[in-house]
Amino acid sequence: MRKLLLVKYGEIYLKGLNRPYFLKTLVARVREAVKDLHGVVWLHDARIFVSGVEDMDECVRRVTRVFGVHSVCPAVEMEKDDFEAVKAQALEVMRPYRGTFKVEARRSDKHFFLESPQINASIGEYVLENSEGRLTVDVKHPEHVLSVEVRDQVYLYADVIMAVGGMPVGTGGKAALLLSGGIDSPVAGYMIAKRGVELIAVHYYSFPYTGPQARQKVLDLAKILSSYVCGMRVYVVPFTEIQMDIHAKCPDDYTTLIMRRYMMRIAEIIARKEHCLALVTGESIGQVASQTMEALCTTDEVVNMPVFRPLIGFDKIDIIHQAEKIGTYETSCLPYEDCCTVFTPRHPATRPKMEKILEGEGKLESERLIAQAVANAEIIDL
């Protein structure tokens, strides 16, 4: 008998011939997540198992955050040949519970001497008789389900903890997230990463308009995100000179938009260097002036790779709820100014004209500014 964590995966079930590839990646991700807990992780018979960890609660916390995991069950593994011992252990597993229950057997080993309904009946009867009145049977709407999986061994569990779902990171390509200190961009990153996408982050740093605390806040946000994706590289790009130049030479109502176009240009260069296939932003239609559809079109226009905006149809309140759920909200709310708000004009253009943008940009030494920003970017691996 030994205690272990039985990990179930979700959407990977739908995969056909390439399922092994997805599974292999998922196992690798689970392994990375529990690496310093000294556990052993293996895949067997459509289940991933984690055993040997000292701190099971921490192990559960981490594995439920691995994209691709549907749910986890703290389980007990028993030898198949002693069915009496299995029954006794089943009673142990159910000891903390009160109310109604049923037994749900899954008999993957078709040679096992009992069939599923017989396993249900036999174990159910044993638990009922020995539970000293704490449990009664209800096969239709039970409060607790005791699962019995008969494979090479027998696995017993009654607790199913839901995980984040999604696809294992690394199976969906790689993208560069434009990460500010706000609420939206970390959520956007999370949503894209959940679909199996490996992320790097690009942050624009406007020292001295924003300071070391604002920079640390962004790194803290990246750190939270990286806990879901098993590590992330962050580029901190010095952006002050570009912002100052825009501020000095471009029309006031266009400064934010032109600044965003430079952010996209720089992000694309970094993305290509890092073999990313797309950019990710936290924009949502109409949230602020630079996120009207017209404005989004003008920022898209400067890049030659897809720009994913997973929050495009979200209300702010939904984004906030999601940020709370993934644990980035509190950090995002720290009050340090971020690069996007440093020079916000009072009346930014919401229906921008391309001629005016180009006229403004024509006054800047774009190539030099961009090359310099990319060259001086600081790289931090989290």
Partner 1 sequence: MIYLDNSATTRVCDQAVDVMSRCMRDMYFNPSASYEKAMAVKAEMERIRTEIAALVHCPGGRVVFTSGGTEADNLAILGALSGCREGRVLYSAGEHPAVKEACKALKGLRAESIPLLRDGTLNLEALSSMLSNDVLLIAVMQVNNETGAVMPLKEIAALRDRLCPDALFHVDGVQGFLRVPMDMKETGADSYALSSHKIHGPKGAGALVAGPRVRLHALLHGGGQEGDLRSGTENTPGILGMGEAIRAFPKENDMRRLKCLLWERLLGLVPGAVVNGPAPDAERSAPHILNVSLPPVRSETMQHALEGDGVLIGIGSACASNKQRISETLSSMGVGRKIAESALRFSLCPYTTEAEIETCAERAGAAYRFLSPYQRR
Specify the DSSP element, H or E, that contains 187.
helix 184-194
Of positions 207, 216, 249, 274, contacts partner 1 by CB under 8 A? 207
Indicate whether 211 belongs to the interface with partner 1 (CB under 8 A). yes
Indicate whether 247 belongs to the interface with partner 1 (CB under 8 A). yes
Place of tokens 């390439």: 18
Which DSSP letter does residue 3 get?
A: E
DSSP E strand stretches across the chain: 2-9, 40-44, 47-51, 69-78, 99-107, 135-137, 144-150, 154-157, 161-162, 174-178, 198-205, 233-238, 278-280, 307-308, 378-381
> 310: cis peptide before it, omega within 30°?
no
Distance of CA 269 to the CA centre of its chain: 25
Nearer of residues 162 and 334 to partner 1, judged by Cβ: 334
Nearer of residues 64 and 210 to partner 1, judged by Cβ: 210
Separation CA 292–CA 298 (nearest Å): 10
Single out the segment in contact with partner 1 by CB under 8 A; choices: 39-47, 86-94, 240-248, 293-301: 240-248
Indicate whether 231 belongs to the interface with partner 1 (CB under 8 A). no
Indicate whether 16 belongs to the interface with partner 1 (CB under 8 A). no
Least CB distance to partner 1 at residue 316 (A): 20
Strands 69-78 and 161-162: antiparallel
Indicate whether 212 belongs to the interface with partner 1 (CB under 8 A). yes
Of positions 18, 108, 118, 344, contacts partner 1 by CB under 8 A? 344
Least CB distance to partner 1 at residue 134 (A): 44
Indicate whether 345 belongs to the interface with partner 1 (CB under 8 A). yes
Q: Which residues pair with 154 in a beta bridge?
A: 78, 150
Separation CA 186–CA 180 (nearest Å): 8
Indicate whether 210 belongs to the interface with partner 1 (CB under 8 A). yes
Indicate whether 252 belongs to the interface with partner 1 (CB under 8 A). yes
Indicate whether 342 belongs to the interface with partner 1 (CB under 8 A). yes
Give the total of residues touching partner 1 (CB under 8 A).
Answer: 21
- Tokens linked to 236: 């901190």
Least CB distance to partner 1 at residue 234 (A): 20
Indicate whether 333 belongs to the interface with partner 1 (CB under 8 A). no
Nearer of residues 11 and 253 to partner 1, judged by Cβ: 253
Nearer of residues 159 and 337 to partner 1, judged by Cβ: 337
Of positions 248, 333, 354, 371, contacts partner 1 by CB under 8 A? 248
Indicate whether 337 belongs to the interface with partner 1 (CB under 8 A). yes
Nearer of residues 297 and 334 to partner 1, judged by Cβ: 334
Separation CA 304–CA 292 (nearest Å): 20
Q: In 3D, which of 273, 23, 40 has the Cα closest to residue 171?
A: 23
20 class by beta-carbon count within 10 Å (0-12 exposed, 13-18 middle, 19+ buried): exposed
Q: In 3D, which of 144, 146, 149, 119 has the Cα closest to residue 49?
A: 149
Single out the segment in contact with partner 1 by CB under 8 A; choices: 47-55, 245-253, 283-291, 360-368: 245-253
Of positions 139, 334, 354, 358, contacts partner 1 by CB under 8 A? 334
Separation CA 186–CA 65 (nearest Å): 15
Of positions 54, 84, 133, 208, contacts partner 1 by CB under 8 A? 208
Nearer of residues 65 and 247 to partner 1, judged by Cβ: 247
Residues in contact with partner 1 by CB under 8 A are: 207-213, 243-244, 247-248, 252, 334-337, 342-346
